[in-house]
Amino acid sequence: MQVYDVVIIGAGHNGLTCAAYLGMAGLKVKVVERRPIVGGAAVTEEFWPGFRNSVAAYTVSLLSAKIIADLRLAEHGLKLVERRAQNFVPSPDGRYLLAGEGRTERHIANFSPADAQRYGAFNRALDSSADLLRELALQAPPNLVRGFKIAAIGELIKAARLGNRLRRLSTENLRTLYDLFTTSAGDFLDGWFEGDLVKAWLGFDAIVGNYASPYTPGTAYVLLHHAFGEVNGKKRAWGHAIGGMGAITQAMARAAAGHGAEIETRAPVREVLLEKGRAAGVVLADGRVIRAAAVAANVNPKLLYTAMVPPSALDPDFLRRIRGWRCGSGTFRINVALSELPSFTALPGRDLADHHTAGIILAPSLGYMDRAYCDARTLGWSREPIVELVIPSTLDDTLAPPGAHVASLFCQHVAPQLPDGAAWSDHRERVADLMIETVDRYAPGFKASVIGRQALSPFDLEEMFGLTGGDIFHGALSLDQLFWARPALGYADYRGPLQGLYHCGSGAHPGGGVSGAPGHNAARAIIADRRRRLWPT
Ligand SMILES: Cc1cc2nc3c(=O)[nH]c(=O)nc-3n(C[C@H](O)[C@H](O)[C@H](O)COP(=O)(O)OP(=O)(O)OC[C@H]3O[C@@H](n4cnc5c(N)ncnc54)[C@H](O)[C@@H]3O)c2cc1C
């Protein structure tokens, strides 16, 4: 007897989004989550007595406006606010760039009038590709179907539609799109600008969660991936969810529960239950069996197919490919409780000002980022790391006691696995000191203002959030792992190789980030299969 139509492994924001859409379609859904709270990498937690923060993902942009509306997230308590300035990039020579509505060009012109003149054209070019990606994010990519099958015709039509959409781009915009998919962010940005700081500002997005030099081919796509978002209708803006990223997933959980989904926390899945080669539910670590007509996995595909499904159930070629799925961000994450706001040498003052609300990027050139990557490859971390500092309490008084603040340090590059088998637990605090000292170099006194901290190495990100290799995207966003190849050629339509097993997490198109898109698209595939009566009843 099926108790549920669908059981979802993991209550990350994509699992919750999928649950809400399935519930809306009338399906009976159960979500099982290993942690004590829902949200996956999008959660708010008390990391130090009296101080709460978005402890992993910390800033919002990619979350689809359609999903916000469909799930009525605002009615479920979600409020997104914009930063007063988008980014602040101080330079060691005491100058700085402050980017944001109405001021970016003026600041770029302080370094290069020629760059300021090109900025408008650059924006239009990037917008054209970002607009396309925004559209594609909420659709299954054309899937590779072998042989002459009805499904193949549908996929050919989808491919033709995509081709037609590309035809509508001007030649110039098509070239930009091609560059963004194939070149390095460094080469792409060097082709537009001459100033180090403007290129560092824009190039930072290309190495976020991406263990690569900005001069590694393919990194330009990661820059584009961070550009398809919006905040309250403002394209490419980044903002803050009042209450932290957990406010997004709490609202999603309420939406899903409102449509009948049952969500159980502290319920780790041990394996997918298989019957006659098809997914028939899950077995929890405590031995309980939850039967369902279909299973949707919110976890990294490598975790799903190497830990939750026996190898004998999978085609050896598929298993070989999944074992080769590249996961591993060069990301180190620190949450700090602060007694006061930082005062930057480049823009002194501890009273709240626009730049304190921005994403503060401490990496003054693409060359600096390249060196950070090379260091991490040989030493395990960068002697001069890349740090983005975000102080959400400047926009949200629910996170820290009055007068105090919380900040997120999002640091790149560290090696997901340290050289010579060294353990992250032996080096975590030393590397956290290095990151905090890096901020202190730009804002003297920062180190002394740290009341408490939580440091998370790639190993800790895997332990705490189940992120294989600490990969924040559930798999590298490289051309061989994108679109029709995410997570593998032939399985890009959210349907895995086993009947009744679906992919609803960031390991499916369009990949990582708090977008909700994989959960939305997977729900569509599941609902379609149910309507076509492809399931046992
Ligand atoms: C440090 C960090 C910073 C980031 N910063 C940002 C940012 O600022 N903005 C942004 O948009 N994105 C950011 N990201 C990326 C983004 O958070 C992720 O890509 C996204 O949250 C992934 O969502 P998901 O629902 O696909 O998977 P996840 O959030 O990984 O959810 C998967 C869920 O499955 C659960 N699970 C794992 N194993 C089991 C099991 N055996 N049984 C049951 N449940 C299980 C996990 O506990 C988890 O809840 C960041 C990520 C990290 C780690």
DSSP states of 410-463 as a string?
Answer: EEEEE-SS-GGG--HHHHHHHHHHHHHHHHHHHSTTTGGGEEEEEEE-HHHHHH
Mean pLDDT of 177-198: 97
What pLDDT digit, counting tens, does each position of 248-291 carry?
999 999 999 999 999 999 999 999 999 999 999 999 999 999 99
Using pLDDT thresholds of 50, 70 and 90, give the confidence band for residue 533: confident
Phi-psi category of residue 322: left, alpha or beta, with phi > 0 → left and psi -120 to 50 → alpha: alpha
Mean pLDDT of 119-147: 94
Mean pLDDT of 226-230: 96
User: Alpha helix locations (H) across 112-195?
Assistant: 113-137, 150-167, 171-182, 185-190
- Predicted confidence (pLDDT) at residue 520 exceeds the cutoff of 60: yes
Using pLDDT thresholds of 50, 70 and 90, give the confidence band for residue 150: confident
- Are 108 and 115 in contact, with CB atoms under 8 Å apart? yes
Mean pLDDT of 354-376: 98
Poorest-confidence range of 143-152, 434-443, 509-518? Answer: 143-152
Name the closest-CA residue to atom 5, ligand 1: 57
Mean pLDDT of 43-51: 98
In a mutational test of the pocket of ligand 1, which residue from 43, 226, 298, 388 has the highest number of ligand atoms less than 8 Å from its CB? 298
Name the closest-CA residue to atom 36, ligand 1: 10
Write down the pLDDT at residue 1: 53
Using pLDDT thresholds of 50, 70 and 90, give the confidence band for residue 152: confident
Phi-psi category of residue 511: left, alpha or beta, with phi > 0 → left and psi -120 to 50 → alpha: left
Write down the pLDDT at residue 458: 98
- Predicted confidence (pLDDT) at residue 530 exceeds the cutoff of 80: yes
CA–CA separation, 367 vs 243, rounded Å? 36
Bridge partners (DSSP) of residue 292 are 4
What pLDDT digit, counting tens, does each position of 24-34 carry?
999 999 999 99
- Predicted confidence (pLDDT) at residue 146 exceeds the cutoff of 90: no
13 lines ligand 1 (CB under 6 A): yes
Mean pLDDT of 496-521: 98
No. of helices (H) and no. of strands (E), the chain: 16, 20
Pick the atom of ligand 1 nearest to 474's CA.
Answer: 19
Pick the atom of ligand 1 nearest to 511's CA.
Answer: 19
41 lines ligand 1 (CB under 6 A): yes
302 lines ligand 1 (CB under 6 A): no
Write down the pLDDT at residue 276: 94
Using pLDDT thresholds of 50, 70 and 90, give the confidence band for residue 2: low
- As a whole-number percent, the residues of the chain with pLDDT over 90 amount to 95
Write down the pLDDT at residue 537: 65
CA–CA separation, 471 vs 325, rounded Å? 11
Pick the atom of ligand 1 nearest to 308's CA.
Answer: 41
Residue 146: enclosing H or E segment and its boundaries?
none
Using pLDDT thresholds of 50, 70 and 90, give the confidence band for residue 521: very high
Write down the pLDDT at residue 26: 97
Name the closest-CA residue to atom 32, ligand 1: 12
Mean pLDDT of 459-463: 98
9 lines ligand 1 (CB under 6 A): yes
Q: Give the residue carrying structure tokens 């989004």.
A: 17
Pick the atom of ligand 1 nearest to 461's CA.
Answer: 53
How many whole angstroms from 12 Cα to the centroid of ligand 1? 6
Name the closest-CA residue to atom 18, ligand 1: 513
CA–CA separation, 447 vs 409, rounded Å? 13
Mean pLDDT of 64-85: 98
Write down the pLDDT at residue 338: 98
Write down the pLDDT at residue 154: 85
Using pLDDT thresholds of 50, 70 and 90, give the confidence band for residue 151: confident
At residue 31, what are phi and psi to the nearest 5 degrees?
-115, 130
Mean pLDDT of 506-519: 98
Write down the pLDDT at residue 145: 84
Mean pLDDT of 330-343: 98
Average pLDDT, the chain: 96
505 lines ligand 1 (CB under 6 A): yes
Using pLDDT thresholds of 50, 70 and 90, give the confidence band for residue 391: very high
The three-state DSSP-derived secondary structure of 209-272 is CCCCCCCCCCHHHHHHHCCCCEECCEECCCEEECCCCHHHHHHHHHHHHHCCCEEECCCCEEEE
